[in-house]
Amino acid sequence: MSPPLDDSGHPASRVPLDAIDVSDPKLYQDDTWYPYFARLRREDPVHYCRESLYGPYWSVTKYKDIMSVEVNHQVYSSASELGGIAVEDQPKDMDRPSFIRMDPPKHDEQRMVVSPVVAPGNLANMEGLIRERTIKVLEGLPRGQTFDWVDQVSVELTTMMLATLFDYPWDDRRQLTYWSDVAIANVRSPESPVHSEEEKFAELTKMAQALGKLFDERAQLPPKFDLLSMLAHGEATRNMPFREFMGTLSLLIVGGNDTTRNSMTGGVLALSQHPKEYQKLRDDPSLIPGMVSEIIRYVTPVIHMRRTAKEDSEIGGKQIKKGDKVVMWYVSGNRDPEAIEDPDNFIIDRARPRQHLSFGFGIHRCVGNRLAELQLRILWEELLPRYPMIEVMGSPKRVYSNFIHGIRSLPVRIPA
Ligand code: HEM
């Protein structure tokens, strides 16, 4: 999210190249990641970091190299047993597999079970409801006083969406947000809702038990279009072991929550930092769909995905050994000038705005990408005519994480 930086005088230009470690969550909390990646893309686009908190790993920083890893799932595995999809391994005895952490054929079978919930026909059915709920949240916002956009808009709207997707008891819906926060928490952060992997595991066990009850009830009823009913009736998912059930629920809760939440916040921030673009939008609201994609690129809500090499291979001329961790830094690929013109600028009417890496690519490409775009489009369609100006009143507070590019709070004001 940083504005373009001239990195020539930055400490990032003085660190010895082989000491650069972009896995430090502090870089994302302090929003200082940008110059490190600019340097890596220029000087060492496929970079080996020998020592980090998470052990040795490769950084893939250019758009085209990230794509080459994404499409080669035969060599670059997502499997939980090999370490999964984040630079930090899940502790072995607390492993929670889900289809994002699997390779074919099991990945494909399970993905197919939940895909219909976000198929175009179902999205069209949901549009009216999403719009109605969005309007209600927006009309309830205070005017002339400062409030937190994250809590009152982004979290509220995405929590409502989760409750809809799971057909979860409405009044308890913030419970889903809590579990999502737990699932992505970096237990080393003082702000984390849980402070050890054991505590995280215990809370997610409670989540799986609570949702398991609803799952069992829905298994007895005719199939419906909610995620729990689909999992309960799906051939590939109805008999999942408990750990896998836990992992799958965490995936579906986090997938549809934090990412969209942070795009809702990041969009307001980006527009306030680019007043000319904000004016362009007010002058021509038909730019909203393209702007939504630009927001998702510019924010890059998922910082990285990791794979593990199943055999010796080569990326961008570097020799990768069987067993090596390979990290695709989407924040960097989305700022690669060889793939995206003027990538450091936020341009709401850029050509081919969907050509970004924020949703990944290949067999794991985000299932919910069209739903996320729909939610964001509706938000801006309803926001703009009501409140043509959202003023940002202070700095965003960012999340301590190298995985989810999150904003914890953003003070804003709607002029009275
Ligand atoms: C702006 C919002 C979103 C962003 C940036 C995002 C990003 C991502 C990324 C980067 C991946 C992994 C791609 C890869 O490995 O190649 C992914 C996978 C996934 N996303 Fe999203 N996501 C968003 C919204 C959603 C929503 C709304 C849902 C749920 C309804 C969702 C559900 C999933 C699922 C289930 C997967 C796993 C797919 C698989 O492994 O086959 N996401 N997403």
Kindly state if the Cβ of 100 falls inside 6 Å of ligand 1: yes
Question: What global pTM score does this model have?
Answer: 0.94
Check whether 4 has a pLDDT greater than 50. no
| Alpha carbon distance 401, 266 (integer Å) | 16
Kindly state if the Cβ of 247 falls inside 6 Å of ligand 1: no
Confidence band for 7, pLDDT divided at 50, 70 and 90: low
CA of 368 to the centre of ligand 1 (A): 6
**Residue linked to tokens 């595995």:** 77
Look at residue 36 in the predicted model and tell me its pLDDT: 97
Look at residue 257 in the predicted model and tell me its pLDDT: 86
pLDDT (tens digit per residue) in 334-350: 999 999 999 999 999 99
CA of 360 to the centre of ligand 1 (A): 8
Mean pLDDT of 44-64: 97
Confidence band for 190, pLDDT divided at 50, 70 and 90: confident
Atom of ligand 1 nearest to the CA of 358: 5
pLDDT (tens digit per residue) in 141-172: 999 999 999 999 999 999 999 999 899 999 99
Kindly state if the Cβ of 372 falls inside 6 Å of ligand 1: yes
Look at residue 145 in the predicted model and tell me its pLDDT: 97
Give the residue whose CA is nearest to atom 21 of ligand 1: 366
CA of 256 to the centre of ligand 1 (A): 7
Mean pLDDT of 243-262: 90
Mean pLDDT of 22-33: 96
pLDDT (tens digit per residue) in 368-399: 999 999 999 999 999 999 999 999 999 999 99
Check whether 5 has a pLDDT greater than 70. no
Atom of ligand 1 nearest to the CA of 372: 27
Atom of ligand 1 nearest to the CA of 263: 1
Mean pLDDT of the chain: 93
Do 373 and 270 contact (CB within 8 A), yes or no? Answer: no
CA of 10 to the centre of ligand 1 (A): 33
Kindly state if the Cβ of 367 falls inside 6 Å of ligand 1: yes
Atom of ligand 1 nearest to the CA of 111: 41
Look at residue 88 in the predicted model and tell me its pLDDT: 93
* Choice among 79-88, 117-126, 313-322, 331-340 with the minimum mean pLDDT: 117-126
Kindly state if the Cβ of 256 falls inside 6 Å of ligand 1: yes
